[in-house]
Amino acid sequence: MSIPFSIINTETMRSIQNAILIGVLSLFLYVYCKVNTEPKVAKAGYSNAKRDDKEDPEINKDYYKAREFNKYAVAADNVICSRMGKDILRQGGNAADAIVTTHCCTEIINSHSTGLGGGGFLLYYDKDTNKATSYNFREVLPEKYVEGINKTAGETVLVPGVLRGLEAVHQDYGKLEWKELWKPCINLAEKGFRIHHALEMAIAHKAMFIHRNLGLKELYAPDGFKLKKGDLLKRTKLAKTYRLIADKGAKEFYEGEMAKQIVADLKQHGGKMSLEDLKKYQVIKEETPIHIKLKGMDMYSTSAPSSGAWLALCLKVIENLDMTAKKYKKNPTRIYHQFVEAFKYSYAAASYLSDTKFNKNANKIEQWMLKPETAKEIAQRIDDHSYQVEHYQPYSKAFLEDKKGTTHMGALDAHGSAVSLTSSINAYFGSKIRSRVLGFMYNNELADFSEFWPQLYNLTRDEKIPGKRPISRSMPTIFVKNKEVQGVFGAAGGAFIPTAMSTVLSNWLFFNDNLKVAITRPRIHSQLFPPTVLYEKTLPPEIVTSLTKNFGHVSITNDTYDVSGQPDAILGVVQAIVRTPAGKLAAECDYRKGGAPDGA
C-alpha cells in the first residue's frame, strides 16, 4: 500500500534529502577517483600517443618515458626475467651470459611462448671487434617426414634448436660458467611464481586443449579448474631438466638420455623424429648478417630464413618517403596509408625468401632487397591509392594466422656489447604436447611452411623437405654508431613482427619519438594476402574511416578475447633498449604483453 505524501513528516523528508545528497556525492567521488587513479601507463596505451617534440610538451611527463639506466639493461616480456638477466650482468657476466638466464626464465614464466622445444634467431654485437654475428637455430624438418594431409600433433614438431643456440653464443662470448647461468632459473622453477596476465590469457584462450590434454592439464588445470592470475605455479619437472643441462650441457639434450625421452614423447603423439635428427642438429652461424646504413647508423639483422631483409627494405622505403613528425601531425592518415603500402611491397619482395640451403636464389634476392635503388623505386610507386594484389608483384606467400607462441628479449652490457634474441614454439603452447617427464612444450613449426595463400593465388610454395628450416618473420636487430650500440630491437607476434618492428622503428627514427611513445603508438598491419588492413582498437576511428574512404583500404579488426580489458588483437609485442642523447640506456617492454625492463 502506498503512503500519501502529506503524512511524511519533516524529519523523514530531511532523511530522504540527506540520503540523496550522500548518493550524489558518492557517485561524484567514484567517477573522480576512477578517472584520476587510472594507471597512466595503461591509459597511454589506449590513447593516440603524442609525439616527443616541442609541439607536445606534455609528452615529457614521466609516464611517457621509458626506464633509464646508466650502465646496462635487459628487456624481456616479464619483469622477473629482466631482473634475472640484470643480476647476471651485476655479477660480472656479459650480454651473452645474461641472455641465457633471461631465456630460461622466460620459458618458466611464459611457457606458452617459448622454450627448449622451440627455435629462433639471435644477433650478437661484440664491441671489441666491432662485429655483428647472427645465430640461426631455427627448427628443422625431421628426415622421416612424409607429406600428407592430416598430420598428428607429433608430426607438426620440428627438431628444436633453442638449447644449441644458447650454448653456441655462450661458448663464443660468455664469461661466466654455464652452470651458474641456470641456478636462478632452477630456483624459480622449484619455488614457483604467480601467474600473470599474459599466461592467464593464453590458458583461457586454449582451455579446450588444456582440459583434454593430460600433459597440459596436470600443469595448468591440476584440480580440473584452469589456473588464473595470481595462482602459484611450480615447474619442478622443468627444474630437473635444467639441472641436467647445467651439469652436462646441450649434448645431454641432443645425444643423451634426454634425447631418448624426446623421441619417446613425440612417438606417443604420432611423431617420427629420430635420435639421429637430434644428434646432427647444428646452429648456423653467420658473420656477415643483414647490414644497411640508416640515419647515420649501421643496422644489423638476421638473414633468411628469418626476415631481416624485409625490415631493411621497408625502412629504406619509408626513409625515401621522407616521413617526419610534422607530416604526421598534418595528416596522420596518409602516414598510416604509406605504412600499409610499404608493408605490402616488402611482403611481396620477401616472398621469394626461404632456407638458403634449399633456395639458391635467396641470397641474391636479399641483396636485391638491400640495394638503395630498390627502395627508391618502390617509394616512387607509392601514391594515395591502394591497389589490387597484382600491382605489388604478387609473389607473397604470407599468411594470416594467429601466431602468438613467440618471445623476444635483448640485453646491453656495461662493456657495450649487445644481444637481440627472438625465439618461438609457434602457436600458444606450440603443438600442445608437453613432456610429462622433461616438463617443456614442443613446437608446431610445421605450420610455418605456408600452404594456404600459395595454393589460393598459385604462388611458389615453401616446400616441406627433410632437413629444411621454415621461413620465419623474426628479425632481431641492433643499431651501432661509432662502435657504440644505439638500439637493440626485436618483436614477437608471427606475421605481425615485421609491421610492428617497422612501425616502432619509424616512430623512433623518423618521428623522433622517445622509446615508450614509439612502442605505445597504435599500430596497423597489412601483409598483401589477404588484401585487408588490420588495426588496433587504439587507432582513432577517424583514421580508420579515412583509410577506407579516402585511400581505398578494406579495414577490419581481429576478433577480441577479453580477459582483463585488453584487446586480443595484439599486432606484435616489441622489446627495445636505446641509447639516449644524454648517453643513458632507455629500455622499454611492450605494454601489450605486460613486460618490464631492468638494469643499473
Please indicate whether residue 406 is annotated as part of the active site.
yes
Does 43 fall in a domain? no
Question: What are the φ/ψ torsions at residue 591 (nearest 5 degrees)?
Answer: -60, -20
**Residue from 184, 236, 205, 187 nearest 113 by CA:** 205
If asked whether residues 379 and 432 sit together in one domain, one would say: no
- Which residue range(s) make up the domain with 349? 303-392
What's residue 227's pLDDT?
96
| 575 and 444 in a common domain | yes
Residues 125 and 261 in one domain: yes
Tell me, yes or no, whether 284 and 360 share the same domain: no
- Residue where a domain stops, chosen among 392, 426, 451: 392
Is 448 among the annotated ligand-binding positions? yes
Question: Could you tell me the CATH number of the domain that includes residue 352?
Answer: 1.10.246.130
The structural domain count of the chain equals 2
* Residue 415 and residue 386 share a domain: no
Residue range 364-417, pLDDT digits in tens: 989 999 999 999 999 999 999 999 887 886 433 344 444 567 899 999 999 999
Q: Is residue 16 part of a domain?
A: no
pLDDT of residue 21: 47
Do 412 and 550 have their domain in common? Answer: yes
Task: Please give the full DSSP string across 266-328, using - where no structure is assigned.
Answer: HHTTT----HHHHHT---EEESS-EEEEETTEEEEE--TTS-HHHHHHHHHHHHHTT--HHHH
Name the stretches of the chain with pLDDT < 70.
Answer: 1-64, 149, 393-404, 450-461, 555, 557-569
- Selection from 27, 8, 26 nearest residue 16 by Cα: 8
Condensed to tens digits (0 to 9), the pLDDT of residues 210-257 reads 999 999 999 999 999 999 999 999 999 999 999 999 999 999 999 999
- Domain boundary among the residues 337, 357, 392 is at 392
- Answer yes or no: is 207 within a domain: no
Structural domain includes residue 595 = yes
Residue 405 has a pLDDT of: 75
Using CA of residue 234, residue 236, residue 242, residue 247, what is the dihedral sign? positive
Write down the pLDDT at residue 46. 28
pTM for this predicted structure: 0.87
Q: Which three cell numbers stand for residue 339?
A: 605504412
284 is in an annotated binding site: no
Whether 558 has a binding-site annotation, put simply, is: no
Which one of the listed residues 101, 356, 406, 422 is annotated catalytic? 406
Q: Is 126 annotated as a binding residue?
A: no
Give the domain-ending residue among 324, 358, 392: 392
Say if residue 386 is in the same domain as residue 413.
no
Contact at 8 Å (CB) between 101 and 181? yes
Please report whether residue 205 resides in a domain.
no
Residues 445 and 584 in one domain: yes
108 annotated as a binding-site residue: no
Q: Is 144 contained in some domain?
A: yes
Q: What does DSSP assign to residue 494?
A: G
| Any domain includes 58 | no
Are 163 and 85 contained in the same domain?
yes
Closest CA to 67 of 447, 598, 591: 598
Q: How many residues does the chain have?
A: 600
The answer to whether residue 26 is domain-embedded is no
What is the predicted pLDDT for the residue at 151?
A: 85
Instruction: Indicate if 377 and 416 belong to the same structural domain.
Output: no
Give the per-residue pLDDT at 285. 98
Distances (CA, A) of 246 to 13, 103, 176, 183, 277: 77, 14, 12, 8, 23
Is the peptide bond preceding residue 289 cis, with omega within 30 degrees of 0?
no
Q: Is 494 annotated as a binding residue?
A: yes
pLDDT at position 568: 57
* The predicted structure's pLDDT at residue 28: 42
| Cβ atoms of 234 and 189 closer than 8 Å | yes
Question: Residue 119 maps to which CATH number?
Answer: 3.60.20.40
C-alpha cell at 123: 644477433
- Do 370 and 465 lie in one domain? The reply is no
Tell me if the bond preceding 541 is cis, omega within 30° of 0: no
Dihedral in degrees, nearest 10, Cα atoms 555, 48, 585, 588:
-60
- Determine the pLDDT at residue 359: 86
Is 537 in the same domain as 431?
Answer: yes
